[in-house]
Structure 1
Amino acid sequence: MDKEQYIKFSDAQIGSTINRPVLVSAIEENTARNGNKFVRVSLKDGFSEVTAMMFDTSEESLASLGIRQDTIADAEISVSEYQGSKSFKIVQIRPTADSTLTVNDFTKLPPVDLDLMYTEICSLIESSSNDYDGKYTPLSDLTLKILTKYKDSFMTSSAAVSMHHNLRGGLLYHSYRMVKAADALCGVYTNLDRELLLCGTALHDIGKVWEYKTSISGDAEFTASGVLLGHLYMGASLIKGFASDGNYNKEKVQLLIHMILSHHGTQEWGTVSCPAIPEAFVLHYIDNIDAKMYMCEEHYEKLDPGEITEKKPFGLDNRLYKPNY
């Protein structure tokens, strides 16, 4: 599907009606005060996701029309204003007659090719290899073994349910930008252990491949392991297990595990341990920077130059302004 041939949700004008194919990603049934049923339907257009209302309708009645979660549908949607924001209402919806459409047509992906990002991460890690004159197996070897074994999950997992990089391939994209940032900082702060920092950065969120279950369209939800253990613990345990089979520098492996356990920075943000080495501090801050940059990028897509977000975005400390130039 040529995504550009249809009006995007983000470009839809208040007062207009749009007709386009959509992916139904979720359906939530509710009851109004008057007792009538209505549904909130989450729709994807391949660029973003919106919630559209459909009144005097139940989940069962939509199912009778063939509309369920993960259905590709043709929809007529009216756009209005409610409390200063765009509001979407489904006028009509039915399963699409276009048999060429697939879920991938409505799945938002990172702006950088997945294979390219994975290859560049591995190349940078390989270039950082340090065997201490043959005394130890390089930490980069351990990292590449992990990334190779879990390549498919690492490349397709979301990095979050909703906070940042919450899309298919989001974990890879987040890790890719962070590894590149970490490598650049090594050229400024030359006392940093480049191998340790790049390996820690690449693996800092590896536990998320078990913390979240990511659907083919990029929606993520917590797993039981994610709720009970969390990605910091699972990532650290993974590294400890792989390190038991190899002649790795034990202290350096311990420092790598420390970086995984401390990258949230503070106990308020759920860290297990606070950063205690320079590489752990750098990892924490570039993690925070990349998350904030992604949030800014997402909100900038919805703003025109000179506009300010209506509310303070969740996770940020102020409303965002998009420069008028």
Structure 2
Amino acid sequence: MSRKYISTLKSGETVEEVFLVLKKEVRETREKKPYLNLQLADKSGFIEARKWDAARQLCDSFHKDEFIKIKGVVETFNNTLQIRINELCPVAEMQVTMGEFIPSTEKDIPGMMNELKQVIKTIQDTYLSRLLNALFSDESFCKIFSTVPAAMQNHHAFLGGLLEHTLSVTKLAISFSNHYPEIKRDLLITGVILHDIGKTRELSCERSFQYTDEGQLTGHLASGIVIIYEKALKIENFPPDLLNILFHLVLSHHGEYEWGSPVKPGIPEAIALHHLDNLDAKIQAATRAIVEHKDTNSLWTDYVKMFERRLYKK
């Protein structure tokens, strides 16, 4: 029997499936009776769920980032689908296939990685080429780079998201550098490939996406600088000025102080990197917001925090 994914659920239908618990709150009704307020997920998306009249023993029987099997009914509340749970029970991790619960890129990961490596072969600057090859000839690094998401939720928040986003911005950078010949192509493309490299240390994705200790303490900009420095240190006579420019590309790519950049873009390649990165992230986020919006009666999405507005779907 095929699985019923969250993205296919419709109001009024019954559902009996296993889900990953993204969020769990034990609340009380006005009558002081406990109930469960949950956010459940599979690889197609997430949905809010409620279990009324939940005994304490049931509330304590599972935790966030664990699996439960539910029986319930899909309902519409404030034009949004949610599940009213009638029955639930914990499910052991060994009984589930993890690929059913964590969203993943729909694109071919080995194919994307190969395409990125082909671009790296076109880099003519000796030091930039050696730096990129030092990173992407490391199989363990490539495995992490091609697995982690690009973000927790705003854009490319799925397995393979970092690779998909990096390759997409790289393609934009190639077109951009062809259009503006005064842009240093090798520098821009290297900056693009390295700009989010710290996310290989910032994010983990064993079940739901989480920040690592390093990610919470320093963030991906600082981690990216450390990774670049560690590799450049092993390359004989790597030019200090070039290393500082690479640091600048990474540190400035958010573009504004209020967006997390410790410095603003100060060279044309950094300005280009910021805007190309921002463009790719926002187009992917806007497309996802429209596709995943569940209210088919509305031509507008709900309020999207990234854009501070609703988006028109028609």
Fold match by TM threshold 0.5: yes
Alignment of 1:46 onto 2:37: no
What does residue 24 of structure 2 align with?
27
**Count of paired positions:** 310
1:274 Cα deviation after fit: 0.6
1:144 maps to a residue whose letter is N
Deviations 1:79-120 (A, max 9, x none): 222222222222222356998741112221011122222221
What does residue 119 of structure 1 align with?
114
Deviations 1:167-204 (A, max 9, x none): 22222222121112212222212222121111111111
Structure 2 gaps, min length 5: none
1:292 Cα deviation after fit: 0.8
Q: Does the CA contact (< 8 Å) of 1:159 and 1:208 recur in 2?
A: yes
What does residue 259 of structure 1 align with?
249
Alignment of 1:236 onto 2:231: no
Alpha carbons of 1:251 and 1:6: their partners in 2 closer, same or farther (altered >3 Å)? same
Structure 1 gaps, min length 5: 132-137
What does residue 299 of structure 2 align with?
308
What's the RMSD between the two structures over aligned residues? Answer: 2.6
Stretch moving more, 197-206 or 140-149? 140-149
- Alpha-carbon distance between aligned partners in 1 of 2:56 and 2:153, rounded to the nearest angstrom: 24
- Alpha-carbon distance between aligned partners in 2 of 1:166 and 1:34, rounded to the nearest angstrom: 39
- Return the match for 1:293 from 279, 283, 302: 283
- Return the match for 2:212 from 223, 231, 243: 223
Q: Does the CA contact (< 8 Å) of 1:262 and 1:275 recur in 2?
A: yes
1:72 Cα deviation after fit: 4.5
What does residue 178 of structure 2 align with?
187
Stretch moving more, 90-99 or 223-232? 90-99
TM-score (norm 2): 0.88
Alpha carbons of 1:123 and 1:82: their partners in 2 closer, same or farther (altered >3 Å)? same
- Alpha-carbon distance between aligned partners in 1 of 2:19 and 2:209, rounded to the nearest angstrom: 19
- Alpha-carbon distance between aligned partners in 1 of 2:95 and 2:212, rounded to the nearest angstrom: 33
What does residue 8 of structure 1 align with?
5
- Return the match for 2:85 from 76, 83, 90: 90
Q: Does the CA contact (< 8 Å) of 1:175 and 1:202 recur in 2?
A: yes
Q: Does the CA contact (< 8 Å) of 1:125 and 1:195 recur in 2?
A: no
What does residue 61 of structure 1 align with?
58
1:237 Cα deviation after fit: 2.5
- Alpha-carbon distance between aligned partners in 1 of 2:89 and 2:301, rounded to the nearest angstrom: 33
Q: Aligned residues: percent identity?
A: 28
- Return the match for 1:155 from 127, 146, 167: 146
Alignment of 1:174 onto 2:165: yes
- Return the match for 2:101 from 106, 125, 131: 106
Alpha carbons of 1:32 and 1:140: their partners in 2 closer, same or farther (altered >3 Å)? farther
- Alpha-carbon distance between aligned partners in 2 of 1:114 and 1:51, rounded to the nearest angstrom: 31
- Alpha-carbon distance between aligned partners in 2 of 1:270 and 1:58, rounded to the nearest angstrom: 44
Q: Does the CA contact (< 8 Å) of 1:110 and 1:169 recur in 2?
A: yes
2:87 maps to a residue whose letter is Q
What does residue 209 of structure 1 align with?
200
Q: Does the CA contact (< 8 Å) of 2:36 and 2:59 recur in 1?
A: no
Q: Does the CA contact (< 8 Å) of 2:70 and 2:89 recur in 1?
A: yes
Deviations 1:107-140 (A, max 9, x none): 2101112222222112212212323xxxxxx302
